[in-house]
């Protein structure tokens, strides 16, 4: 344990201009000792590096620095910027800059931290660490805080996993963001409006390393591990985009709870007359799947021979399309029920009534497929059960009024989907 930690503002720095020797200015203003940690606001680093640019339109500047939009609400945007940071407005800052200009983040904040550390050691002989900071909002929390966007001379994470707490319990998850804690601590004495952009944290020399280290890269969560990578509406659009017809699956089992969550989403679909015209048959056992598919195959083969007059080779080619169901580890059969439908005496209105209910089950199935995609499962909705409904009902012992509306194969995709080109809305839109 440290005997104590001091937070010291570095005062007397001039207004920073492009090309300024920032290391020399800090070395002159700060009385540094070995083991100090310099906490430096990114704004003055950007100014020294000439990152002040003319931009009458701040939104255009944000666009230029953005590689991915995470969330958008009105005019506010959370984005991933060129440095890999997820933050508001890509870090483009229009405060405390001349009209018509904006300040961009350093191109390489870790590189800036290393250069600043080396320059200070050259001038003072002191071995210090450097943390470059910027202000972030945080999910689930109101208010802003400074975090590290560049670092040199310290490990930005302190991994407690495998250690034992005071009660003898082994820690399994705790990894402390040391650099972010230092950034927030330094901001307590830097302040946003006092013109004090640098602070010294003293008393934590144990954190300072001889090598520059890996910088802030370890602080950035990998996309594959990020459970909150998108905003709500963006996540929905992403899930819709991820929904692809998958025809090859791994042998990994499907989590029944995930399918039930998808069904729960499915039954929120709109339906006529405040009805619930959906039933979902979950074919979970291998025996039930085999019995169903064998019975369907026999019915299909019979109809293709007797009703369509196909030869055996043509029948075999046609029924091979059902392999996507046979090779899937899990099947879902959506069924339409007409409970609550109106009984019209004329055929025209009766047909329209059934069409309304059919549209409702289509909406429910789309909800199901999108939710499965969000759970990491692939799916293929095929129509085969609609051509042998009596066989399906008899094999699965379903009520006579349950109308199978295809079958959905579910499983983990065996391969990544092929790239799909963007499909703009205009070709499918008519405006009156």
In which residue ranges of the chain is CATH 3.40.109.10 found? Answer: 233-428
Within 295-406, strands assigned E span 330-336, 378-382, 403-404
Q: Tokens standing for 139?
A: 């999910």
CATH topology of domain 6-51+105-224: 60s Ribosomal Protein L30; Chain: A; (3.30.1330)
In angstroms, rounded to a whole number, what is the distance separating the alpha carbons of residues 62 and 60?
5
Task: Read off the pLDDT band of 113 (50, 70, 90).
Answer: very high
Classified as helix, coil or strand, 374 is helix
Model pTM above 0.75: no
- 3-state helix, strand, coil split of the chain in percent (to 5) is 40, 20, 40
- Alpha carbon distance 346, 21 (integer Å): 87
pLDDT of the residue at 286 = 93
Angstrom distance (rounded) from CA 360 to CA 335: 11
Whether 109 contacts 102, CB under 8 Å: no
CATH 3.30.1330.100 in the chain: give the residue spans: 6-51+105-224
Nearest-angstrom CA–CA distance, 134 and 89: 12
Q: At what angle do helices 347-374 and 232-242 cross, to 10 degrees?
A: 100
Q: Which pLDDT band, with edges at 50, 70 and 90, does 217 fall under?
A: very high
- Collapsing DSSP to helix, strand or coil, 355 comes out as helix
> What does the DSSP 8-state code read for residue 322?
G
- The tens digit of pLDDT for each residue in 263-291 reads 999 999 999 999 999 999 999 999 999 99
Question: What DSSP line would sit under 226-287, residue for residue?
Answer: -TT-S-HHHHHHHHHHH--B---B-SPPP-HHHHHHHHHHHTTS--GGG---EEEEEE-SHH
Strands 378-382, 66-73: parallel, antiparallel or unpaired by DSSP?
unpaired
Q: Does domain 233-428 have CATH number 3.40.250.10?
A: no
Give the Cα separation of 389 and 99 in Å (integer): 71
pLDDT tens string 391-407? 999 999 999 999 999 99
The average pLDDT across 376-387 equals 92
Query: With 80 as the cut, is the pLDDT of residue 170 above it?
Result: no
- Say which DSSP state 419 is in: P
Confidence at 58, pLDDT banded by 50, 70, 90: confident
Closest CA to 237 of 411, 375, 71: 71
CA-closest candidate to residue 107, choices 18, 59, 46, 61:
46
For residue 34, what pLDDT band results from cuts at 50, 70 and 90?
Answer: very high
Of the candidates 271, 397, 286, the one whose C-alpha atom is nearest the C-alpha of residue 340 is: 271
What are the Cα distances from residue 28, in Å, to 14, 35, 122, 124, 143? 11, 17, 13, 9, 34
Q: What is the pLDDT of residue 375?
A: 86
Residue 192: pLDDT band (50, 70, 90) is: low
Predicted local distance difference test score (pLDDT) of residue 1: 41
Q: What is the DSSP letter of 185?
A: H
What's the confidence (pLDDT) of residue 138? 84
More confident residue, 338 or 74: 338
Percent of the chain with pLDDT over 70: 96
Phi, psi torsion values for 53, nearest 5 degrees? -125, 155
In this prediction, residue 97 has a pLDDT band, given cuts at 50, 70 and 90, of confident
Structure tokens at 222: 């990998």
């Amino acid at each position: 344990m440290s005997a104590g930690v001091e937070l010291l503002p570095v005062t007397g720095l001039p207004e920073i201009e492009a090309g300024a020797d920032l290391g020399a200015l800090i070395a002159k203003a700060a009385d540094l000792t070995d083991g100090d940690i310099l906490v430096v606001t990114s704004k003055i680093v950007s100014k020294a590096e000439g990152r002040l640019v003319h931009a009458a339109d701040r939104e255009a500047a944000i666009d230029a620095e953005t590689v991915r939009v995470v969330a958008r609400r009105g005019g506010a945007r959370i984005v991933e910027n060129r440095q890999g940071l997820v933050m508001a407005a890509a870090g483009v800052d229009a405060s405390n800059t001349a009209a018509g200009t904006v300040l961009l983040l350093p191109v390489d904040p870790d590189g800036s931290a290393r250069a600043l550390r080396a320059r200070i050691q050259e001038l003072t002989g002191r071995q210090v660490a450097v943390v470059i900071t910027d202000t972030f909002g945080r999910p689930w929390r109101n208010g802003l805080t400074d975090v590290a966007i560049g670092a040199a001379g310290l490990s930005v994470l302190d991994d407690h996993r495998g250690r034992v707490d005071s009660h003898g319990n082994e820690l399994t998850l705790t990894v402390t963001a040391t650099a972010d804690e230092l950034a927030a601590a330094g901001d307590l004495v830097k302040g946003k409006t006092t013109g004090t952009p640098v602070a010294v944290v003293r008393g934590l020399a144990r954190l300072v390393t001889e090598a520059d280290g890996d910088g802030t890269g370890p602080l950035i969560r990998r996309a594959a591990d990020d459970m909150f990578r998108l905003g709500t509406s963006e996540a929905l659009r992403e899930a819709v985009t991820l929904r692809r017809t998958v025809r090859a699956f791994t042998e990994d089992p499907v989590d029944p709870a995930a399918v039930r969550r998808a069904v729960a989403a499915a039954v929120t679909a709109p339906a006529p007359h405040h009805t619930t015209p959906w039933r979902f048959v979950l074919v979970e056992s291998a025996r039930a799947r085999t019995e169903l598919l064998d019975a369907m195959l026999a019915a299909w083969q019979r109809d293709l021979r007797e009703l369509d007059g196909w030869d055996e080779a043509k029948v075999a080619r046609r029924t091979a399309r059902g392999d996507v169901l046979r090779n899937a580890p899990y099947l879902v059969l959506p069924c339409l029920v007409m409970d609550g439908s109106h009984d019209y005496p004329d055929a025209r209105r009766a047909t329209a009534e059934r069409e309304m209910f059919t549209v409702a089950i289509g909406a429910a199935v789309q909800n199901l497929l999108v939710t499965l995609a969000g759970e990491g499962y692939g799916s293929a909705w095929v129509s085969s059960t609609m051509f042998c409904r009596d066989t399906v009902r008899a094999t699965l012992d379903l009520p006579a009024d349950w109308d199978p509306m295809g079958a959905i194969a579910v499983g983990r995709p065996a391969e990544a989907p092929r790239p799909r080109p963007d499909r703009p809305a205009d070709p499918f839109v008519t405006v009156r």
